[in-house]
Structure 1
Amino acid sequence: MPFPLAHDDPQTLGAHRLVARLGGGGMGTVYLARSAGGRTVALKTVHPRYAADEAFRTRFRLEADAARVIGGRYGAAVVDADPSAPVPWLATEYVLGPPLDEAVALCGPLPERTVRALGTVLARALGQLHGSDVVHRDLKPSNVLVAATGPKVIDFGIARAVGDDRLTRAGTAAGTPAFMSPEQAAGGEHTSAGDVFALAGVLLFAATGHGPFGGGQPADLLYRVRYAEPDLSGAPAALEPLLARCLDKDPNRRPGTAELAGLLAGEEDEDAFAEALPAALLADIAARATEVWRIRPHRLPVPQEIADASTAPAPAARTPSSGPSRRKLLALGGGSALALVAGGAGAWAWWAGRDDASKPKPTARTRRPSGVPSRAVWWAEAERTDADCPPMPLGGLIAVKGVTGITAFEARTGAKRWTSRVLQSYEYTTDGKRIYTYAPDGLDAMGLKIFGVKPEDGSLEILTEKLDDFSSSPTGAQPLAAGDGVIYVVARKGNDPDKSPWHFLALDLRTGKERWRQEIKAGYVPGGTTFSFTGAVIGDHLVYTGQVFMEHVNFLKSRGTANGRSEWEWSLRRQPKDAGTTLSSGQLAADDRRVYYGLTEVLAVTYADGKVAWQFGAGRDVGKDAPKDTGPYGRPAVRDGVVYAAEGTRGIVALAADTGKLLWETPFRDLPPGLTMPPVVGRTHLYVHATNGAHDAVVAVDLRSHRIAWQMDVPGRVGAPLTAHRGAGTVVWTSGNLVCAIPLD
């Protein structure tokens, strides 16, 4: 969807007049533009910071060259380019058609005829690319545009010549984990056979709506890509053997693109591609063809803060608690209203803006959208909510992370209060009173500071002194937990991802000073490749969980909050296909004596001494059709002396928190309980996410009768876990662009 131009976007680039923004990220911006003759193009630019990097300019030239190699038949034809300009840019035809992931979201899984037509053309497209000794390296549904004339392969930002790994060594991203080849996931050479592997994943997604190796954390995905069998469930029977062959771990056993195109080709001619498309998809393409000509240039005015700052006297020096000025935060991106900040292995946006908090705008609608179930008491919009970040209670508000930042809603009514535009790639934690995050203080990726998001209006303030020796890049730190005026952070000392040691840090939020640091004797990447942590402050202990990527092991560990020294550790066996084995923020179940964890069994550990209090589940029947290679117990919840956990495909078990004795169990009739989201415990009901992978529901279990009170189908999918706001009496969850709430009984 096009967006207005920012006040400081250029008027023209080359012979093209900019009309609107199509999107953007840390590396640059993509615009909708028109030539003097009226031709509409997509114009990609490079951020000025990277324009000064000759290696990045080389990468940009290679992207333009690869786009020219694939040509206009199979890609977006290159109209013009100037890689040597002060702001390098590339103009391609504006393709009238949605990305494949949007097409599947619109129409559902595509018919076999459509998938065959799609695959035939894409195989020929890759063949043309490989014929010039170029591999794409990042083929995925969002990089395939579905036009009436045929699919177009786009985004050659990491394409390269076969055998040339110079840019990879320079720090270029290696691809998208869900659609990587095993050899690419292992850091090896990605040849043309790797593109065939990725194409099979794209076609499986088109036919089923899911990728070959599921979703979840990058670490889980990378492991499954390398070692697990692909999930071909839902694929047309006639295509399943061919997809399995393309997804073979051995690249030598995969078919070439010419053979693949011949095996996929049906009776339809390539020029009759449109005849194979569903009617809903054709209608969407036709609508885009009309709407693009209705777009007129519109430019946002200069933000008042910048206008005021340009005439204001120099600000006085600030203390750590007084917070950064709006002008300084905006200046991170050279004055752009959507600042693009370079940090570490990539670049991320950071704009500490907010909506007018003095006039809360109710966002609940009188006309219920299709994705909102009938029991919802309020719903609101938050663009592209983050499925890995549960809603966060914040006083009387509920805060949700999305692509535009953190948005806060009244937890009782859904009225929108503010948006703090601290964008996607930085991680957060909260103590229920304030949200804490970090970002670079300027363009330097070193110098860690903790910022607090004020609950009253979403503005930011600096809470800690700058730690010059620690990284502030998006993959350089993770706020782990906060409590009793202290925030605990995992951070990299130095900015070399391969050599710099990682530390636990305790930072005093009252004084802004460091309390202690303890080195981690292992590699680490927040949310990603080797470890991933989730923690909680419990009394005098920082208890955290994570996983050892290559060893099928999860762990529970404890450190003393006074000095950060290790106190105890438990290793927990993890099954090969366990997905999302790490926990999201706030999901570590604990009471005043024990911490509880569910995987192959439900485990209770006394955190004072690290001893196992009890284990539950050995030898139990966990239900018909329960996967053999997945831990049968879900993330538990504990309240009022009872631990609740999903059990395989059977239902829910309730256990005594002090002994682990089974108190009662409730079988589920229709959908099995979900294992990756903990239940929510109310006063009279237990709320459980249920799913079969394609259909989601919320099930309410009566805590007195132990029977299912009701089941509410969720028209979309439950994104982030259900979250209780006990003060407001609501249970909140996210689903795509929606935030929904039902009563907490």
Structure 2
Amino acid sequence: MAVQPGGGAPDPLWSYTSKADFGSSNLAVAGGRVYVVSDRLTAVDAATGAVAWNGEYIDGLLAAAGGGLVFVGSPNSLTGYDQATGKSAWRPRYSGPSSPSYSLVQALCADDELAYGITWGQNGLNGQATKLVAWSIESGVESWSQELRPGQQRYGVQHGLRDGRIYHNDGQFTIIARSTKDGQQLWSTPTGADFAITPVTDGDRLYCLAGKDGLQALSTATGSRQLLIRQKGGADGSFGQVTAVNGVVYGFPGDQSVCAWSAKTGEQLWECPLPFRPSDVNQPVLVQNTLFVVGTGIDGVTAVDAGSGAIRWRFRTDPLSSPSEEWALTTDGRRLFAGLGTTLFALPAS
């Protein structure tokens, strides 16, 4: 995919092109590699862009990395591939006479002990059931599972994982905190919203929507509201995706801009107007002192100074070769990895 000149953007550090499209969530980073899910699982060296290995052909649904494996969901199971070799090395194990019948398994995330996914399958006379499941990476045995409430869409489970807890929304747009050890529900808080963003935590607080009032910060200990961030001037309106790092919340207040707010007081620190509406799917990504924001297709990737809110540069691909799709974003803390269509670019942090 050709790069459009102009915009002040530096040249990509490298680019990799797959044979098939990969979606906006089909990237994972671990062990100095970027794992790309398209028609097969591929490991790309994060520093050089060289292909470390090409795995088997897969019908893959999202990727997550942990415990030395890359987990990829599929229409009927979850598979863990060895990060070093790409070989299939893990599958769920079941103690019953037969394995469950799933029509879809979606990889969510993983830590060093558990792999988490969403299963969509049959539940007797009740028809199809959606469950949040945690499997042991060591044994493959299901550690715990929890059924999600009716109304939850297959791909609509927004989630976050930190400090021994997994946070997720359910079918009624309630935020739930669970212990990763046993799946026990620690608290639940209705958001009052009619859609969900990815719940983000900075440790003590979790950020999610507050109906049409704005963005709220909940205590990660109790689920009680600690802070409300409203639209400029106190107007009603829904927020888009956010991220929270080092005492600052960065996010989209529902228009063509990205803003920064104090995580302590909710005070707006800066606002950066954008020439496009930010993506509803991708969170802003902070890499060192640069905040990266994307729209769709030819909107490209915009680098914003995280301290001042000033635009540093815009990276865009040629309009004639750019699909009108969501970008895929992830980072290893040193570089931004941005994918569109069949091409993955590595971009510098400044």
Which residue does 2:89 correspond to in 1?
461
Deviation string, structure 1 residues 189-217 (Cα, Å, up to 9, x no partner) = xxxxxxxxxxxxxxxxxxxxxxxxxxxxx
Structure 1 residue 682 corresponds to structure 2 residue 287: yes
Q: Secondary structure at the match of 1:421?
A: strand
Per the TM alignment, residue 596 of structure 1 is displaced from its structure 2 partner at its CA by: 1.7
5 Å matches for 1:282-431?
369-371=1-3, 375-402=11-38, 404-431=39-66
| Match status 1:701 vs 2:330 | no
2:160 to 527, 532, 536: 536
Is residue 606–residue 613 contact of structure 1 (8 Å, CA) maintained in 2? yes
Superposed, which structure 2 residues align to 1:132-531 within 5 Å? 369-371=1-3, 375-402=11-38, 404-431=39-66, 433-437=68-72, 450-466=78-94, 468=96, 471-475=100-104, 477-491=105-119, 494=122, 499=127, 501-522=129-150, 526-527=154-155
Q: Distance in 1 between matches of 2:101 and 2:55?
A: 19
Cα deviation, 1:407-427, whole Å, max 9, x if unaligned, reads 221111211122223523544
Aligned ranges 1:514-663 → 2 under 5 Å:
514-522=142-150, 526-527=154-155, 532-548=156-172, 554-574=173-193, 581=195, 588-598=199-209, 600=212, 601-618=214-231, 620=233, 632-663=238-269
User: Aligned equivalents of 1:523 and 1:648: distance in 2?
Assistant: 25
Note the C-alpha offset of 1:492.
5.1
Distance in 1 (CA, whole Å) between partners of 2:57 and 2:221 is: 37
Pairing 1:19-58 to 2, within 5 Å after superposition: none
Q: Structure 1 708/621 Cα, relative in aligned 2: closer, same or farther at 3 Å? A: farther
Instruction: Give me the whole-angstrom Cα distance separating, in 2, the residues matched to 1:417 and 1:534.
Output: 31
Equivalent-residue separation in structure 2 for 1:672 and 1:556 (angstroms): 26
In 2, the alpha carbon distance for the partners of 1:502 and 1:684 equals 39
Change (3 A) 1:520 1:698: closer
Provide structure 1 residue ranges, at least 5 long, that are not aligned to the other structure.
Answer: 1-368, 549-553, 576-580, 623-627
1:723 and 2:325 are equivalent in the alignment = no
The one-letter code matched in structure 1 to 2:89 is E
Contact 2:102/2:120 (8 A) holds in 1: no
Structure 1 counterpart SS, 2:252: strand
Q: Distance in 2 between matches of 1:671 and 1:502?
A: 35
The answer for the alignment partner of 2:313 in structure 1 is 710
What's the offset of the Cα at 1:569? 2.2
State the 1:491 CA deviation.
Answer: 3.1
* Contact 1:482 1:536 (C-alpha < 8 Å) held by counterparts: no
SS of aligned partner of 1:406: strand
**Structure 2: distance between partners of 1:371 and 1:616:** 37
Number of aligned positions between the proteins:
339
In structure 1, which of residues 715, 725, 735 is the aligned counterpart of residue 340 of structure 2? Answer: 735
What is the rounded CA distance, in whole Å, between the counterparts of 1:490 and 1:399 in structure 2? 20
The structure with the largest strand share of the pair is 2
Q: Which structure has the larger Rg over C-alpha atoms?
A: 1
Residue by residue over 1:299-347, the C-alpha shift from the partner in whole angstroms, topping out at 9 and shown as x without a partner, is xxxxxxxxxxxxxxxxxxxxxxxxxxxxxxxxxxxxxxxxxxxxxxxxx
Give 1:471 shift: 3.1
Do the aligned partners of residues 646 and 525 (structure 1) sit closer, same or farther apart at CA in structure 2, a change above 3 Å counting? closer
Q: TM-score, normalised by structure 2?
A: 0.83
- CA distance in 2 between counterparts of 1:582 and 1:470 reads 32
SS of residue paired to 1:597: strand
Distance 1:458 1:683, change over 3 A: same
Cα contact 1:470–1:491 (8 A) shared by 2: no
Identity %: 22
Cα distance in 2 for partners of 1:651, 1:408 equals: 34
Q: Which one has the bigger helix percentage?
A: 1
| Matched letter for residue 2 of structure 2 | S
Change in 2 beyond 3 A, CA 1:424/1:613: farther
Distance 1:518 1:706 in 2: 41
Inter-partner Cα distance in structure 1 for 2:166 and 2:99: 21
CA deviation map 1:112-141 (0-9, x unaligned):
xxxxxxxxxxxxxxxxxxxxxxxxxxxxxx
Gaps of 5+ in 2: none
Q: Normalising by structure 1, what TM-score? A: 0.41
Tell me by how many angstroms 1:505 deviates.
Answer: 3.1
Find the aligned partners of 1:740 and 1:618 in 2 and give their Cα distance. 34
Matched AA of 1:607: T
CA shift, 1:393, in A, is: 0.7
Contact 2:247 2:263 (C-alpha < 8 Å) held by counterparts: yes
